[in-house]
Structure 1
Amino acid sequence: MIDEILKDIEKYKTIIILRHQNPDPDAVGSQTGLATILRDAYPQKNIYITGIDLPVLDWIGKMQTIPSQAYQDALVITVDTANVPRIDNNGDYKKAAKLIKIDHHPNVDPFGDLNWVDEDYSSCAEMIYTLADKLAPLKISKQSAYSLYSGVIGDTNRFLYAETTYRTLMIAAQLAKTGIDISDISLHEDEMSLQVARLEAYILNNLKITPSGFGYIVIRKDTLEDFHLDAGELDHVVPLIGRITKVHNWIVVSEEDTNRFRVNLRSKTVSINGVAEKFGGGGHPLASGAYVGSMEQVKALIKDMDALNKEKENSH
């Protein structure tokens, strides 16, 4: 599979790298890291990264604006993107000559002409490192290592999550060996704005925890607007509830617009991606997301998440 990807990379003059909507450090880190690797190996090629630019992640890399015609006869590579609706693109990618999907989420939508999907990787950035490490023309520079390390520690929450493996730590060590400032990256991942800190205080004061150990918070649109968050900042608060000892799984529900609720689902042990899929979303067993269209659906999702813990208790 990796050899086939290299053949396509060598074949096309223009390569456009995309990632998912509402990007996280792994999405941007994989995207910018791969772009840097390819630019170093093939300076004669046109290598682009594009998508909505989030200032909160500019420290990893900035996006480019490219014309629609750039996709014609191009190779498009999507990274860290599980399904077609999540691709951060207006549909121009459909004009491309070929589409490659590189991802570590469950492969519910193999939308690429070529799909390299492996759930055993902690992050897509880890996959991009593997790609470069196994193919002779591709090399990891200090610049690309900075992006990839940001992705690895972003998706593992600085090696906290269960997806962290021996391979993850070995790859992180190899990236660190390039001389990147790993402390600087960790500080970027950890820091928050004053408005995010205030939102965390609000969540801790208003969250609900059921007897089964399910924690949840529903933040309505008018309340969310009071915090004046920048785009992407809401994602910083999602891990917070899981730091509470008695919480086993949790959700953060944010009303983005009337009858449009974004739901971030997380768990310490019990698989929650089945619930996300039931409500039109998806993701990893312990980290998933979905959008729902009413408070009735939000209440139904809350009921299902609470039931997961009860089912686990009854199985013991």
Structure 2
Amino acid sequence: MIDEILKDIEQYQKIIILRHQNPDPDAIGSQIGLKTILQESFPTKDIYVTGIDLTVLDWIGKMDQISSDVYQDALVIAVDTANSPRLDNDGAYQKAAKVIKIDHHPNVDPFGDINWVDESYSSCAEMIYTLTDELEPLKVSKKSAFSLYSGIVGDTNRFLYGETDYRTLRISAELAKTGIDISQIALHEDEMSLQVARLEAYILDNFQITDSGFGYIIIRKPTFDKFNLNDGELDHAVPLIGRINTINNWIVVSEKEPNHFRVNLRSKNVAINGVAEKFGGGGHPLASGVYVGSMDEVEALIKDMDNLNK
């Protein structure tokens, strides 16, 4: 399958790299890292990364602005995206000649003509490195290594999560050998704005914990608006509740728009992606997400998460 991906990359003049909505460092790092690798390997090709720009992740790289007609006769590579509705794209990708999906989430929607999906990887950035490790003429430079290492560090929460294994650490070491400043990347991943610090203080002061060890916080729109967060900044606060030693699983519910609730689900040891899928979302066994449209659904989801521990 990896050989087929290279053949398509060599065949197409235009390559457009997509990722999911509400991007994280792995989504952006995989995009920018792959673009850099392909540009350096095939300097005459037209290669683009698309999606909204997030100020909080500008340090990894910025997106290209292209019109929908650019997709005509192009090869689209979608990274770090489990299903097509989550693509940060208005549907223009469907004009492409071919779509390749590269992802490490459960393969609930094999929307690509080629689907390289492997849940054993800690991150999509780790998969992008594997392409270069196995295929000539693809190579990792210091520039692309910066993006890929950022993606790995982001999706493993600095090697905290259980998906981190020998391969993750070996690849991270190979990326570090290029001379990237791994301390700078760690600082970028760790730093927060003043408004995020205030949000975290609010969460710690207001979250609830059940007898089973399930923790949750619901941030309704009037409260959410007070923090004046930039897009993507809420994600920094999602792991916070899980740092408490009596909590087994937790959710952060945020209402950015009236009756439009984003729910981030996390767990230390019990698979929670089944709950997310029940409500129309999905993700990893220990890290998933979903959008719901009412407080009734939020309360039902809370009940299901609590029952997991019981």
Both proteins in one fold, TM over 0.5 = yes
Which deviations, in whole Å up to 9, do the C-alpha atoms of 1:148-203 show, x marking residues without a partner?
00000100000000000000000000000000000000000000000000000000
Deviation of residue 258 (structure 1)? 1.3
Deviation digits for residues 132-160 of structure 1 (CA, Å, limit 9, x no counterpart): 11101000000000000000010000000
Query: What do the CA deviations read for 1:65-89 (whole angstroms, capped 9, x no partner)?
Result: 0011110000000000000110000
Q: Is it true that 1:8 corresponds to 2:8 in the alignment?
A: yes
* Partner Cα distance (2:27, 2:12) in 1: 23
SS across alignment from 1:261: strand
Within a 5 Å distance, the mapping from 1:98-247 to structure 2 comes to 98-247=98-247
Whichever residue aligns with residue 8 of structure 1, its letter is D
1:224, CA displacement in angstroms? 0.5
AA of the residue aligned to 1:33? G
- 1:132 and 1:66 map into 2 onto residues whose CA distance is 27
CA distance in 2, matches of 1:50, 1:245: 40
Amino acid paired to 1:160:
L
2: CA distance between counterparts of 1:291 and 1:263?
Answer: 6
Q: Which residue of 1 aligns with 2:78?
A: 78
Counterpart of 2:286 in structure 1 is 286
Q: 1:128 and 1:177 mapped to 2: Cα distance?
A: 17
Query: Following the alignment from structure 1 to structure 2, what is the Cα–Cα distance between the partners of residues 14 and 254?
Result: 38
Residue 314 of structure 1: aligned partner: none
Instruction: Quote the sequence identity (%).
Output: 77
- Cα distance per residue 1:248-269 (max 9 Å; x no partner): 0000000121111000000000
Task: Determine the C-alpha separation between the residues in 2 that align with 1:229 and 1:71.
Answer: 33
Q: Partner residue of 2:37?
A: 37
Task: Indicate whether 1:265 and 2:288 are aligned.
Answer: no
Q: Structure 2: how far apart are the matches of 1:34 and 1:73?
A: 20
Post-superposition, which runs of at least 4 consecutive aligned residues in structure 1 deviate over 4 A?
none
Return the alpha-carbon distance in structure 1 between the equivalents of residues 250 and 163 of structure 2.
18
Q: 1:298 is aligned with what amino acid?
A: V
Whole-Å Cα distance in 2 between the matches of residues 93 and 132 of structure 1? 25
1:296 counterpart residue number? 296
Counterpart contact for 2:225–2:256, Cα < 8 Å: no
Question: What is the CA deviation profile of residues 271-311 of structure 1, one whole-angstrom value per residue up to 9, with x for unaligned ones?
Answer: 0000000000000000000000100000000000000000x
Which amino acid letter does the alignment assign opposite residue 54 of structure 1?
Answer: L
- Report the equivalent of 1:313: none
Cα distance between partner residues in 1 of 2:156 and 2:263: 20
TM norm structure 1: 0.98
Query: RMSD of the TM alignment (CA)?
Result: 0.4
- Separation in structure 2 between the aligned mates of residue 270 and residue 104 of structure 1, nearest angstrom: 19
Q: Which runs of 5+ in 1 are unaligned?
A: 311-316
Contact 2:195 2:227 in 1 (8 A): yes
Determine the C-alpha separation between the residues in 1 that align with 2:201 and 2:260.
Answer: 24
Per the TM alignment, residue 245 of structure 1 is displaced from its structure 2 partner at its CA by 0.3
**DSSP-derived class of the 2:161 partner:** coil
Aligned position for 2:305:
305
| Counterpart residue identity of residue 79, structure 1 | V
Give the alignment's TM-score, normalised by structure 2: 1.00
Task: Please tell me whether the aligned partners of residues 102 and 117 of structure 2 are also in contact (alpha carbons under 8 angstroms).
Answer: yes
SS at match of 1:255: strand
- Aligned to 2:198, the other structure's residue is in SS state helix
